[in-house]
Chains A and B, each alone.
Chain A
Amino acid sequence: MLDFLLYVGIVASIYGIAAISLNLQAGVGGLLNFGQVAFFGLGAYGVGIASHRGLPLWMGVVGGIVAAALAGAAVGRLGRTLLADYWAIATLALAELLRLVFLNEEWLARGADGIGSIPGLWGAVSGTWRDVAILATVVSILVVVYLVAERLTKVQFGRVARLMREQPNLAAALGYDIVKVKVRVMMVGAAIAATGGALLTTYISFIGPGQLLPVDTFLVWAIIVVGGMGNHLGVIVGAVVVNLIYLGTRFANDYAKLDANTAASLRLLLVGLILMAFLMFRTNGLVPERLRTVDADGG
């Protein structure tokens, strides 16, 4: 039981990081990014490729984050001539494109086989204590990511992003270059997503194209809708709740004894139903975005 809780805690924290990154883009900036798994994947593959080539892992982490930020800038810039809905479709397509590259370019990252035996964090510690140490690490990083996102959302950077979400014309009338705002928000979100991807790869010591499927973007979207779009604390709550349900039901199959594929599909279906219920009955999520008031003496 303790092992399971540690496992859920670690995975939920990593998804919490991914959720905050998407929340910055979609919740704060109103950017419908349906290709978030690509940024997550670039961070994951950064670590994987570094491990595969015998480079120090930190290099992979930095490389992945930089690659994701650049990809975020490119995707943000793409929006110049696209309407929001079409831009959303483009993000989905680009993420699939990236997955296909990793799947087919064997020289890059071993294609469909993926990269395994990636050294994890705290290798010197053994047993349950190692999981405790990993949990402490990912929670600390989650807290830092939360503080960064919260700060950015509160100050003018996020204020302008929120205005862009609600009234892009007004933002332009006040002299803001919408494309630039979009690019900056995408870059920050992508870099945070890559951090989460790198952490997940070191935890499960494997990365393959199968982890870059759109379904993972879907899970993160479910998390931010359930948690409360626009509220960074809310999406952390969402990450815990959705992962408890999604991972917890894995053990329910010990009793139901369905074949693995059916069980996996049913668990996903469950998340989909929860997502729909929230969209219909609690649109603002468990912890809705609150109105930010300004202190008289400034931020």
Chain B
Amino acid sequence: MLTAVDVRKHFKGLNALDGASIDVQRGEIVGLVGPNGSGKTTLLNVLSGFTRADSGRIEIGDKKIDRLPSWEVMRLGIGRTFQAPQLPTRMTVMETMLCAAKLPTGESLFGAFLRRGKVREEEREAIERATELLTRLGIAGVGDQPATDLSGGQQKLLAMGLVLMRSPRLLMLDEPAAGVNPSLRRSMVNLLKGLTQGNEISMLIVEHDMEFVQRLCSRVFVLDKGVVVAESKPSELADNPRVVEAYLGKSRATEPASAAPTNAAGESR
């Protein structure tokens, strides 16, 4: 579904990505973890076309995408969220959801005037679908509020709703659980899992919450200083010395005691 090989991105004085390689198979939920500043978001930006890589090969399906602008990548059936949800302040939740819908007649200059019936029909369907999605996400009834009036957690859910509105085949989520309360997190896990069943949606999830990652992902990449230092099953993360080193630094990792891994993932059980 998604293959990235030896991706490099250099910012002034910083190798944000120093030859990172990852892949996501069809229907798979893959986690991307790593300490702050390890390059997770940069990788997501590169994979979604928002940042152009200096070098490396990125393919979605069979299509090379590393020279495409972001909107074109997104049209290949990719959906992404941002770490801080980028929502409009002067538009309602429902209007924002409609932006994510395909309404070709209302978008065209002449269709907007000449085919009013069709515009209405398309909008009606989109509103129905948006209402259903908002309900599934547990934020029904906020449709007429300005999008940025929602709480932080609700904004995350809305951002996910926007992506789902477009029925993507590959979802890239940047810290979907951050700022979302624990019970909502659990329903978010169930929702995302439910999406992959039968639907053949793949996901790449950047997340700090290890419990969230363990419940959701079948495979995890660990990024440190712009390089993938480990690839493992989520349950084996804590036993991987490279992971511990990435999170806690070299000196601690060389210690024989196993206190460190508990912090990385142990709490989840």
Interface residues of A (CB under 8 A from B): 148, 151-152, 155-157, 159-160, 162-163, 165-167, 169-178, 184, 188, 230, 289, 291-294, 296-299
Contacts A155-B119, A157-B112, A171-B99 known; list 8 others, CB within 8 Å: A156-B107, A160-B99, A173-B48, A173-B50, A175-B71, A291-B92, A293-B94, A298-B119
Residues A177 and B71 in contact in the complex (CB < 8 Å), given A230-B90, A293-B94, A294-B143: yes
Asked if B87 is at the interface (CB within 8 A of a chain A CB), the reply is yes
* Residues on B with beta carbons closer than 8 Å to the beta carbon of A177: 69, 71-72
Residues in B122-138 with C-beta less than 8 Å from chain A: 122-124, 126-127
**In the complex, what residue of chain A is closest to B123 when comparing beta carbons?**
A298
C-beta contact mask, B88-132 vs A, less than 8 Å → 1, else 0? Answer: 111110111011100101111100110000011111101100000
Residues A166 and B91 in contact in the complex (CB < 8 Å), given A157-B106, A172-B71, A175-B166: yes
Cα A173 to Cα B69 with chains together (Å): 10
**In the complex, what residue of chain A is closest to B172 when comparing beta carbons?**
A173
Verify B98–A296 contact, CB threshold 8 A.
Answer: no
* Residues on A with beta carbons closer than 8 Å to the beta carbon of B48: 173
Cα A178 to Cα B69 with chains together (Å): 10
Verify B109–A184 contact, CB threshold 8 A.
Answer: yes
Verify A176–B71 contact, CB threshold 8 A.
Answer: yes
In the complex, what's the smallest C-beta–C-beta distance from B158 to chain A, in angstroms? 11
**In the complex, what residue of chain A is closest to B124 when comparing beta carbons?**
A298
For A159, A160, A293, which residue has the most chain B Cβ atoms within 10 angstroms? A159
Main secondary structure, interface of A, reads helix
* Residues on B with beta carbons closer than 8 Å to the beta carbon of A163: 88, 91, 96, 99
For B94, B99, B144, which residue has the most chain A Cβ atoms within 10 angstroms? B99
In the complex, what's the smallest C-beta–C-beta distance from B94 to chain A, in angstroms? 5
For A152, A166, A170, A173, which residue has the most chain B Cβ atoms within 10 angstroms? A173
Asked if B153 is at the interface (CB within 8 A of a chain A CB), the reply is no
Verify A167–B88 contact, CB threshold 8 A.
Answer: yes
C-beta contact mask, B75-89 vs A, less than 8 Å → 1, else 0? Answer: 100011110001111
Verify A169–B95 contact, CB threshold 8 A.
Answer: no
Asked if B235 is at the interface (CB within 8 A of a chain A CB), the reply is no
* Residues on B with beta carbons closer than 8 Å to the beta carbon of A297: 120, 124
* Residues on B with beta carbons closer than 8 Å to the beta carbon of A293: 92, 94-95, 144
Selected from B79, B89, B112, the residue in CB contact (under 8 A) with A155 is B112
Cα A155 to Cα B103 with chains together (Å): 9
Selected from A173, A289, A294, the residue in CB contact (under 8 A) with B127 is A294
**In the complex, what residue of chain B is closest to A188 when comparing beta carbons?**
B109
In the complex, what's the smallest C-beta–C-beta distance from B42 to chain A, in angstroms? 15
In the complex, what's the smallest C-beta–C-beta distance from B60 to chain A, in angstroms? 14
Verify B50–A169 contact, CB threshold 8 A.
Answer: yes
* Residues on B with beta carbons closer than 8 Å to the beta carbon of A291: 90-92, 144, 146
A sample of 6 cross-chain residue pairs with beta-carbon separation below 8 angstroms, ordered by A number, consists of A151-B112, A159-B95, A169-B86, A175-B74, A184-B109, A298-B122
Asked if B203 is at the interface (CB within 8 A of a chain A CB), the reply is no
Verify B86–A170 contact, CB threshold 8 A.
Answer: yes
Asked if B70 is at the interface (CB within 8 A of a chain A CB), the reply is yes
Cα A228 to Cα B147 with chains together (Å): 21
**In the complex, what residue of chain B is closest to A288 when comparing beta carbons?**
B90
Residues A299 and B80 in contact in the complex (CB < 8 Å), given A157-B106, A157-B112: no
In the complex, what's the smallest C-beta–C-beta distance from A157 to chain B, in angstroms? 6
* Residues on A with beta carbons closer than 8 Å to the beta carbon of B92: 291-294
Verify A292–B91 contact, CB threshold 8 A.
Answer: yes
Verify B119–A166 contact, CB threshold 8 A.
Answer: no
In the complex, what's the smallest C-beta–C-beta distance from B86 to chain A, in angstroms? 4
In the complex, what's the smallest C-beta–C-beta distance from B228 to chain A, in angstroms? 25
